[in-house]
Amino acid sequence: MLDKVNELIGEVSNFNTTSKEELEAFRIKYLGKKGILNDLFAEFKNVANDQKKEFGQALNTFKNTAENKINDLRSSLEEAALSGTALNDLTRPGEPLKIGSRHPISIVRNQIIDVFSRIGFTVSEGPEIEDDWHNFTALNLPEYHPARDMQDTFFIEQNPDILLRTHTSSVQTRYMENNEPPIRTLSPGRVFRNEDISARAHCIFHQVEGLYIDTDVSFADLKQTLLYFTKEMFGKSKIRLRPSYFPFTEPSAEVDIYWGLETETDYKITKGTGWLEIMGCGMVDPNVLKNANIDPTKYSGYAFGMGIERIAMLLYQIPDIRMFYENDVRFLEQFKSIN
């Protein structure tokens, strides 16, 4: 009896097939209801008592061998089926890759650069840690000038000469020192002001400033350039210039665009006026040109500066400036489809 079981174990372990039907027949033959295993179990009562233990063990081995065989063959059959069709099909779409998205600050900065590069502006960059000369003095803001208070400053280690730049006009100072007119440059970058953090203001933000210097540059050139920019960037072609004050430009103006009053959000963001302030601008003060060794009797120029966060908030209806710096993926993922 025991010999017969051992023989069956050998038979089962040697079995092999590549056909599903044969495998099923094998299962029915050995493990089916009327199969060999059940027949052998029925024989159990006829086995002498002192052999019952050994016989029982042999039956278990037989059962396990048959079950393992079936499982192994079944998975290799499935694998073969896959490699025969799906995995060899090179036209199947690939596994979706998780792609990242650009930060909204980068998106808007790139859009602004794109618009101005089409009319000949190039990008210039400079250090975030600046000296007093490039950030203030050269820009017609001598020591003790009250207008310095317009931009609360972070100083480095109590040294009043070394500071975190409060605007990227500092880059323009450097650019003027190292380049001859005609100058057409855009300075994007991170700036720092010692301000309380709220939904509308942060102590770190980003700007793009522009500088144009050539012979016979007039305020009309500035206005046309701004109009071109607002059309390209926002699709809005109505702007107004309000007289303002900046130490480095004279005359100076604040630029508003007519956003409209079509939706409730339009009402909210324009405080019911339809107008939105988007940047500061003006004709470069002759003193600033002089400080950079550019002859103000020969050359004139205009400059403008805007905050990237503010424009991104307008374009994408972002209610709180702090969202830009939290890097919450739920926020960032919303910019996936935009480059």
The answer to whether residue 212 forms part of the interface with ligand PHE (CB under 6 A) is no
The least distance separating ligand PHE from the CB of residue 282, rounded to whole angstroms, comes to: 5
Stretch of 101-109, 120-128, 274-282, 292-300 lying at the interface with ligand PHE (CB under 6 A): 274-282
Bridge-based pairing state of the strands 239-246 and 204-214: unpaired
* Interface pick for ligand PHE out of 132, 209, 256, 285 (rule CB under 6 A): 209
Near ligand PHE by CB under 6 A: residue from 167, 184, 202, 310: 167
- Length of the chain, please? 339
Per-residue binding string, ligand PHE, 220-249, x by CB under 6 A, is: --------------------------x--x
For residues 165 and 150, what is the distance between their CA atoms, to the nearest angstrom?
A: 13
Q: DSSP assignment of 202-237, as one string?
A: -SEEEEEEEEEEETT--HHHHHHHHHHHHHHHHS--
Nearer Cβ to ligand PHE, position 70 or 294? 294
Find the part of the chain contacting ligand PHE (CB under 6 A) among 85-93, 109-117, 179-187, 278-286: 278-286
Which two tokens mark 202? 């942060």
The C-alpha atoms of residue 130 and residue 133 are separated, in whole angstroms, by 8
> What is the smallest separation between the CB atom of 179 and ligand PHE, expressed in angstroms?
17
- Rounded to 5 degrees, what are φ and ψ at 20? -60, -40
CB 329 to ligand PHE: min, Å: 31
Phi, psi values for residue 206, rounded to 5°: -125, 145
Of the pair 77, 150, the CB lying nearest ligand PHE is at: 150
Instruction: Locate 288 and state its tokens.
Output: 């600033």
Site string for ligand PHE, 281-310 (x = CB under 6 A): xx--------------------xxx-----
Which residue is nearest to ligand PHE, using beta carbons? 305
Secondary structure class of 257 (helix, strand, coil)? strand
Question: For residues 135 and 170, is the Cβ–Cβ distance under 8 A?
Answer: yes
Separate counts of helices (H) and strands (E) for the chain: 13, 10
Residues within window 125-144 making contact with ligand PHE, judged by CB under 6 A: none
Among 124, 135, 169, 300, the residue binding ligand PHE under the rule CB under 6 A is 169
In 15-51, alpha helices (H): 20-31, 36-43
Footprint of ligand PHE on this chain (CB under 6 A)? 167, 169, 209, 246, 249, 252, 280-282, 303-305
